[in-house]
Amino acid sequence: MSDATTLYKLMVLYMLNRIDFTMTYSQLSDFILGKGYTNYFQLQNTLVELQDAQLIHTEKIHSTSYYSITPQGRETLDFFENRLSKAIRDDIEVWLKDNRLRIRDEVSVIADFYPGKKKDFLVNCRALEKDTVLIDLTLNVPDEAQARAICFQWKKKAADVYGYLIGELMRSETSDN
């Protein structure tokens, strides 16, 4: 393994260790490719090797991969973090500080769909806050076009839907008394 490959792996582990939520490939590449540290193919290879070594966990939802560091990844980072220069760590810290809210918001609202049993589709919509599930809603719809539309709209309207449901359910409880 080359020193450059080791550096890219440590950068990914360091980034994932510095936050308390998952990151998407797009978010990781925004920093690593955007700052010119490496190219698309090397980053892809780095993520595959980290996953194969069980240093990161990958969850694929619809067409998006979500990455998180594993306990083994944390141990590895603890052992080799000194190989990551202060300049690179500072670069990562500044980028995370500037982008933390955007990253968290992007990964806290998730929607996916899959075929049901009778030519229908099940749409799973989730909203998370850190590791806590705020809402996990599964809807049955008759076709893929509706499933895609709901996934797209969920990203925009999850907070409104959640607020509406809580409001309605609380109103029902108080009006029954």
**Digit-coded pLDDT (tens) for 35-61:** 999 999 999 999 999 999 999 999 887
The pTM is what?
A: 0.69
Rounded Cα distance between 45 and 83, Å, is 20
Q: Is the pLDDT of residue 62 over 80?
A: no
| Residue whose token pair is 């925004």 | 30
- Say if residue 154's pLDDT is above 70: yes
* Residue 152: closest CA among 114, 110, 122: 110
Distance CA 18, CA 93 (A): 8
Q: Residue 79 CA to chain centroid, in angstroms? A: 25
Q: How far is CA 53 from CA 22, 48, 49, 57, 70, in A?
A: 18, 9, 6, 10, 10
Q: State mean pLDDT over 77-100.
A: 92
What percentage of the chain reaches a pLDDT higher than 90?
46
For residue range 96-149, list pLDDT tens digits in order. Answer: 999 877 777 766 788 888 898 888 999 989 887 766 788 899 999 999 999 989
